Amino acid sequence: MASRDPPPPTTHAPPDVPTGLTLFLTIPYAFFLPELVFGFWVWILVASTQVANPLLQGWVMYVSLTSFFFSLMFLLSYLFGFYKRYEFWKVLDSLYHGTTGILYTSAAVLQAHATIISETDDLKNYFINTAASFFVFITTLLYVLHAFSIYYH
C-alpha cells in the first residue's frame, strides 16, 4: 500500500539578478542598454523630421517615448534592487517586453510607410525617415529577444 505522507514541498528559487556591471553582461539584462539607445535614436530621428503624417509618426513617437521611460524604470529597478520585493517580477518583465515588442512592430510598419510616403517630398526627410525605420526595426528585434530570453531564462 502507498504511503499517506504528503510529498515534500518543492521550492523554486528564481535566479539571482547580477549586480553592478555584470548586469549588463548577462543575456536577459544585456538588452536594456541597446533598447534604450536605439529607442532614443528612434524618437530623436522622428522628431527631427517634418512630420508630414502626424497620425503615423505620432504613434511611433508615443511607442518609442513610453517604451523608453518604462524600460528606464525597469533598468533602475534592477540596478537598485526593487525587483526583490516582488515574486512576479520575471513574469512582469517578460509581459512588458513582449507587449512592447508587439507595439514596436506596429510602430515599425507605420514608420516604414511614412518613409515610403516621404520619398517624393524632401530628400533630407526621406533619409532621416529611413534611418528612423532602421532603428525602429532593430529596437523591435531587441524587445522581442529580451522578452523571449527573460521568459526562457
Q: Where are the alpha helices (DSSP H) in the chain?
A: 32-47, 54-80, 89-117, 123-152
C-beta atoms surrounding 151 within 10 Å: 15
- Residue the block writes with cell 518609442: 64
Q: Provide the whole-model pTM.
A: 0.82
CA dihedral 45, 51, 55, 61 (to 10 degrees): 20
Contact 30, 66 (CB under 8 A): no
Contact 17, 23 (CB under 8 A): yes
Written as tens digits, the pLDDT of the chain (153 aa) is 566 766 655 444 445 676 667 777 788 788 889 999 999 999 999 999 888 778 888 999 999 999 999 999 988 888 887 877 877 888 888 899 999 999 999 999 999 999 998 888 888 889 999 999 999 999 999 999 988 888 776
Alpha-carbon 111 to chain mean position:
17
